[in-house]
Amino acid sequence: MSNFTSKTLTHEEKRRFDRQFRLPGWNQEILKQSSVLIAGIGGLGVEIAKNLAMVGVGHLILVDLDTIEYSNLNRQILFIGAPEGASKAKIAAKRLREMNPFITIDAYDCPLQDVPPHIYSKVDFYIAGLDSIEARSELNRRAVHNKKYLIDAGTSVYNGHTYVVSPFNNACLECDPLTERNQDQLGACTLVGKPRRPAHCILKGQLHFEQKHGKPVNILKSNEVKDVVLYANKLLKEYFPQEEQFSINQIIQIIDNHEPTVITINCVMASLQSQEAVKILHHIHTPEPDKKLGNIQLNYLIYNGLTGKFYEIEKPRNPKCEMCGRGRTSMFRIKVKRNFPLTRLIEKFSHNKNYPIDPEFPPMIFRIDSSEVGEISMEQTISQAEIRDCETVLVTGFDDGSQAYLTLKLEG
């Protein structure tokens, strides 16, 4: 069916999206009925949200607990004119509704764990614009558990990468887990002793300034930064005479530790993520193989912004991965009434799925789909335990030390 003769698109939508209607294989109705969760509304997330809103994805869910800072404005266009300290997710949603009034946008200014679980189950897939390894790991877990695509990306200086996780088809993010970036974070005992590395001289200079003036260094005041520079270089000359003296930029990068970033690299990577999103939506909602829109890029893609070159790396699955490998904890989806007792739920599961209960260590249930992870008392109903629709719990206490993930679809 032609986009121009669609009965589900309004006359105004047909006028707005006229030019993309003319693209080979494009189906605007598919985009209108689709939903995407965007985690992280920063340098990448702002561009992704803007792109998907402009092409007409029908429902966007924006998640970010961060607030707007003035330093965001060199690359995060949705926040220009917004007050500092305002919710990124809510301001972005407001601006996007103004840009495209034909779509639905929901905003959550909370951790990923506190987004209602049924949303993760309902949306078509997830896109990450995250700078936290912990948050990436959480979204990866949701993607694997719900068997939904995850389009991840990141930037560093003039470089970027993007990667589409297709659960159980290619490597998930835990198959080759990222390691925390080495930072010169020191304990108090290190700061009072001799500097062990050149960077320690800077941190000792920072501490000296704070003790002397009773306040942190303001990097926008040159005289304060120069105080740190002089002290740090004095220590550097004493303990590391072979090293070159620190520059002001090096000092600022250490004491005000933020990853350098620029809008041009963000836009390149966010555009790649957005294009993969459009293709994936057409793949998910198009039953005929010959009518799918292109091929999904399942290799790890690296971009060098200084050479303009792209590099592809194939990422095979890790059979030992605890998330998607052969030895992973099994996942089960169960329909159950809200007033059903938890003890009976586990007994029924044990019998139906052949998970014998360990007689010495009775079953225990743990909440994992929340920022408040912890044990749930078995002596109550699902409703009393405040387990949410489509929430996943971890159950232990079966023979041979086995455990299971149960995703509960609540009824009644």
What CATH number is given to the structural domain containing 346? 3.10.290.20
**What pLDDT score was predicted for residue 90?**
97
Residue among 178, 142, 168 at smallest CA distance from 326: 168
My answer on whether 139 and 246 are in the same domain is: no
Is residue 349 in a domain? yes
Q: Where does a domain end: 241, 274, 297?
A: 297
pTM, full prediction? 0.83
pLDDT 10s per residue in the chain (412 long)? 688 988 899 999 999 999 999 999 999 999 999 999 999 999 999 999 999 999 999 999 999 999 999 888 888 999 999 999 999 999 999 999 999 999 999 999 999 999 999 999 999 999 999 988 899 999 999 999 999 999 999 998 999 999 999 999 999 999 976 443 344 444 444 455 678 888 889 888 988 898 899 988 888 888 999 999 999 999 999 999 999 999 998 888 888 767 778 899 999 999 999 999 999 999 999 878 777 899 999 999 999 999 999 999 999 999 999 999 998 999 999 999 999 999 999 999 999 999 999 988 889 999 998 888 899 999 999 999 999 999 999 999 998 889 999 999 999 7
**What pLDDT score was predicted for residue 193?**
66
Is residue 375 in a domain? yes
Is residue 311 in a domain? no
My answer on whether 47 and 136 are in the same domain is: yes
Residue among 169, 139, 173 at smallest CA distance from 296: 169
My answer on whether 122 and 46 are in the same domain is: yes
SS3 at position 336 = strand
Is residue 170 in a domain? no
Q: What per-residue string of b and e applies to 20-37 under the rule 16 or more CB within 10 Å gives b?
A: ebeeeebbbbbbbebbbb
Distance CA 199, CA 219 (A): 17
Contact 49, 78 (CB under 8 A): yes
Written as six digits, the tokens of 187 are: 């304990």
Is residue 303 in a domain? no
Is residue 175 in a domain? no
Is residue 94 in a domain? yes
My answer on whether 270 and 228 are in the same domain is: no
My answer on whether 39 and 143 are in the same domain is: yes
Query: Cβ of 349: how many Cβ atoms within 10 Å?
Result: 20
Contact 78, 303 (CB under 8 A): no
**What pLDDT score was predicted for residue 180?**
37
My answer on whether 63 and 148 are in the same domain is: yes
Give the CATH number, domain containing residue 119: 3.40.50.720
Is residue 136 in a domain? yes
**What pLDDT score was predicted for residue 190?**
47
SS3 at position 142 = helix
Give the chain's domain count: 3
Domain that holds residue 355: 330-410
**What pLDDT score was predicted for residue 401?**
86
Residue among 26, 37, 31, 24 at smallest CA distance from 9: 31
My answer on whether 50 and 73 are in the same domain is: yes
Residue with tokens 């005289």: 223
